[in-house]
Amino acid sequence: MKLKVFLKEQGVSKKLLAKVKFQGGLLYVNNEIRNTLFEVSQGDLVTMIIPDEGEHETLLPDDSFLDVVYEDEHLLVVNKPNGVASIPAQYHPKGTMANRVKHHYNKHQYVDRVVHVVTRLDRDTTGLMLFAKHGFAHAMLDKQLRSGELKKYYTALVSGKIEQLEEFARIDLPIGRDMTSIIKRQVTEDGQQAVTDYWLEKKTNKVAFVRIQLHTGRTHQIRVHFSAIGCPLLGDSMYDGNMHLGIERQALHCTRLELKHPFTGEKIVLEQELPEDMRALLND
């Protein structure tokens, strides 16, 4: 088959291939420079040299502490603290996880310094957050997200009608914008499909500890779904969560990531223990 067809089968997009062709990259077959129309055969060795990405010149570095959980030449996973946004906004250009990662890349003098966020977390949600260290890795991980091969598990503390929670259940309720707010979301018939699985791990008189897997990635999905079934997250003032049990942010933590390494094929499983504020409530 032609080299461009082979590369497409390996997950190389047209955009990436154009970058290789026109921005200083190279394609080799058996250590000989070839173009995309060259015909490859079984047993050939194909090598693609991707041009360095440089950096986002407008993204400001932030030298605040970065808790690195896993890193190799393609991936970076960090433990996000409470109160830090994932990415900058127009009026908040610094102080985010992306800014911290930019400083990390600068400090280590990586040739690729564009920050690729694969899995975002809300400002007050804690836990594992995945970055790709170059555009090809980002494309491969996005493909895993869409197929469900990249799995994200969360832990939440909820209150309300916790006596109605089952040992395992699926919440399949569409989510759309709440027209009374530019931020808030709600369950609505004309919303986008949103699917959340949960397992009940522990229950006290006031609080339930649930483990959650997302099958879609809607804004505020977990918070909206649990509020909709009458069990809002503790500390989640936006969605009517209980604010009187010692936690003033949504009690939500990304506990576990499962993915296939996009280049080695190795299965990677990463876990992160609960932060102190959630542990304290769980152990009461």
Q: CA 268 to CA 209: how far, in whole Å? A: 25
Q: Is 122 a catalytic residue?
A: yes
Cβ proximity of 44 and 21 under 8 Å: no
Return the ∠ at Cα 280 (arms to 160 and 201), rounded to 5°. Answer: 55
- Nearest Cα neighbor of 153 from 77, 78, 211, 223 is 211
Q: Which helix (H) or strand (E) holds 21?
A: helix 14-22
Kindly state the DSSP code that residue 9 receives in the 8-state scheme: H
Q: CA 258 to CA 268: how far, in whole Å? A: 6
Q: In terms of C-beta density within 10 A (0-12 exposed, 13-18 middle, 19 or more buried), how is residue 95 classed?
A: middle
Residue with tokens 């809300």: 122
Per annotation, catalytic residue among 44, 62, 63, 122: 122
Active site residues: 122
